[in-house]
Amino acid sequence: MPETKEINLKISGMHCAGCASGIENGLKQLDGIKLVQVNYAMGTGRVDFEPGRVDENSIFHTISDLGYGAEPAEKAGDTFAAELATARRNLFWAVVFAAPVIIISMGLMLTKAEVLSHGAEGILLFLLTTPVLFYAGREIFSDAWLQTGHRRANMNSLIALGSLAAYLYSAIVLISFFLTHRHGETHFYFETAAAIVALILLGRYLETRAKGNARDAIGALLRLRPETATAVIKDEEVSIAINEIKPGMTLSVKPGEKIAADGTIVTGKPSVDESMLTGEATPVDKNDGDEVIGGSVNGNTAFRFEVTGTGDNTFLAGIVRLVSEAQNRKAPVQRLADKIAGIFVPTVLLIAIATFVLWYIFDPHNAMLLKAPVAVLIIACPCALGLATPTAILAGTGWAARRGIYIRGGDILEKAVKTNHVIFDKTGTLTEGHFEVSAFRAAEETDERVLFELAASAEAGSQHPLAEAIVEKAKSLDTRLTPVHNLKEYPGFGVKGEVDGKMIVVGNLVTLQKEGINTESLVAPAEEEMAKGRTVVFAAADGMALGYFALSDKIKDEAGEVINKIQAGGREVIMLTGDNIKTAKGVATELGIKKFEASVRPDQKAIIVETYRRAGNNVMMVGDGINDAPALAAADIGVSLGSGTDVAMESADIILVRDDLHTLLEALEISRLTFRTIKQNLFWAFFYNVIGIPIAAGVLYPILGWGLSPIIAAGAMAFSSLFVVTNSLRLMRTGTNVV
């Protein structure tokens, strides 16, 4: 496979979904481009390409040739403040000049007063309208001109054509008046042109502000990082910049301060507020040796910690990357909107031309000859189509991030909604993952101390939770442990090795039976332990059974409630475990799970997941351990608990930072509400344009005798985009009580 490189971009100059579609289509023409995703709402893009066939400079030049600006995302600062300031300034000057135009025009029209001569009125309106269009609205016209040069059209093209039509028509009428001194049909439409641009700029200002609120999840995370930290150098505390922090340094954190990096506590027992990162509402008590997360806030106790992660290698940086990637990834439901946006503007232009031609043929003296085509150009809104999906994803993933739920993209949100099977790994997911020996039994003629000495010595070479529990119990009984030689570990089954010259086998019942060891005297009492949901581990020496250990793993307090709610929502739940069928049945019965798979090896989990998928199911896999990673990757949606390994988290589509299954319910509910909002937005965007454009064209005029004013069309267009954004923002105000 050829090498593929990814570059993330900050793109400026986009004004509608058509712009994003144009950039995507333009870049796809380059040889070596594998994937292009442009997010209009975020002003960002992602390009995957083959370095041997195309370079980054070609990508930047292509975007520039298309009429837009681009720079690497990592080098681009937060442009929201500048965008908002520009939008506010343009709106201010538009209102300053447009308000008198509208007041004068409407006042004279309503009162029929002749305060000014017709010529003087026209000159005054012309002088006031010109700066509205070509100063306050200069970006609209400059971009429209640029698009024309590239033989393309976008939202600005429609606005420019509509407002220019009213402006130039009025200017021609004014010139004609002075040349002929005849009133005739000399009504001016300067107020139409001025109001159109002013309303569009008002809509863009409100839209910019709303989009800024929607995409503030990343900004909120970045603001968690302090600017400075206090380093301990030769027993002296020195203030340093955050970029000067290095792994291995010791930092001092005073009460109420933000923690500047990831690390391990060396002195002090603080209570740390991690809510902005994990969603954990209450502060977490820490002790010596515990880990702290950069960006969290210290409580009332000063402490010192050794730095383990800085810069891009911190937990916070990883979260920022996750949220950023999530907000750039498109949901499949957006594909239809993207296709329509790509042909939307040319279609509207054709409709406007057809509208003009039809009015010219059937009623050339009607005022609708000018009003209708202009209204069509102005009311059409591809922006709403472009904003419908990404703004909802921005709001949904931002809301989830504040709850300690990190969803990798809009496509994941959509898949989560369609999930109908949820598969849980048992150990560490439905249970605490901390085993303890609850009971043990030695075989006849075997001393209990010998059972522990030999079995624990063999298990000491394993890192499996069951092995660690047996070793811990042995140590608590002051058992002497002997080094193990020639240890072989069979994942999911047990271990085999030499201890004091004896060949020791420790594992499940199947393992001992395969070794030809007679366990008949132990099976009956062992099955009683299994029926209680306990895991039984057998031990043997030189082919003779030594006894067994019954280990219990406490079921999480919330597991039963979460399982019931998932099943009540119409999803089927399946449990996977390496335990034998009797132990698995005991746990499944306690949790109310009807389907489970027992004696599952780690490599079989992914096969089981794939089997359910091939049966036509949409499968979510929930796990935490390193042996869950293949299954997480195989599922439609992989969910990793935050207590899990890095490998499991890398394989997951949804990461639950808190080790609390309630957050799985929250993730499902956030996905449902976000996807519902996307569908509402898309319905509005389609409905608005399908209904609005024909009305603007004048289809109701022959029936009702009225058409749509271009000024009202401009207001409707601005409202359409604003409706989509504010509807998405409702997600962020929904609250956190979604369980």
Sign of the torsion formed by the C-alpha atoms of 452, 455, 457 and 460: negative
Instruction: Classify 489 as helix, strand or coil.
Output: strand
**Catalytic annotation on 447?**
no
Euclidean distance between CA atoms 160 and 631, whole angstroms: 54
DSSP string, 373-385: HHHHHHH--HHHH
Nearest to 541, CA basis, from 496, 504, 511, 498: 504
Which residues neighbour 338 within 8 Å (Cβ) at sequence distance 6 or greater?
A: 17, 20, 21, 24, 330
Contact 266, 288 (CB under 8 A): yes
Q: How far is CA 688 from CA 130, 206, 342, 344, 632, in A?
A: 31, 19, 18, 14, 41
Residue with tokens 């031990």: 539
Euclidean distance between CA atoms 502 and 321, whole angstroms: 53
Q: Cα Rg for the chain, rounded, in angstroms?
A: 34
Query: Tokens at residue 68, please?
Result: 């837009």
Query: Tokens at residue 14, please?
Result: 């986009």
Nearest to 286, CA basis, from 308, 259, 268, 263: 268
Question: Buried b / exposed e across 675-712, counting CB within 10 Å, b at 16+?
Answer: bebbebbbebbbebbeebbebbbbeebeeeeebbbbbb
Euclidean distance between CA atoms 497 and 488, whole angstroms: 6
Single out the catalytic residue among 262, 273, 425, 653.
425
| Single-letter residue type at 427 | T
Euclidean distance between CA atoms 94 and 129, whole angstroms: 9
Sign of the torsion formed by the C-alpha atoms of 456, 462, 467 and 472: positive
Query: Tokens at residue 725, please?
Result: 């954004």
Euclidean distance between CA atoms 189 and 374, whole angstroms: 11
Which residues neighbour 406 within 8 Å (Cβ) at sequence distance 6 or greater?
A: 319, 322, 323, 326, 400, 654, 655, 657
Euclidean distance between CA atoms 221 and 292, whole angstroms: 16
Question: Do β-strands 431-442 and 421-425 pair in parallel, antiparallel, or remain unpaired?
Answer: unpaired
Query: Tokens at residue 238, please?
Result: 């020195």
DSSP string, 520-579: HHHHHHHHHHHHTT-EEEEEEETTEEEEEEEEEEEEPTTHHHHHHHHHHTT-EEEEE-SS
Euclidean distance between CA atoms 93 and 91, whole angstroms: 6
Euclidean distance between CA atoms 108 and 115, whole angstroms: 8
Instruction: Classify 370 as helix, strand or coil.
Output: helix
Nearest to 620, CA basis, from 634, 603, 630, 599: 634
Residue with tokens 């489970």: 596
Query: Tokens at residue 478, please?
Result: 């002051």
Strands (E), 242-385: 250-253, 262-267, 271-273, 284-285, 291-292, 297-298, 303-309
Euclidean distance between CA atoms 642 and 464, whole angstroms: 19
Euclidean distance between CA atoms 15 and 143, whole angstroms: 9
Instruction: Classify 309 as helix, strand or coil.
Output: strand
Catalytic residues: 425
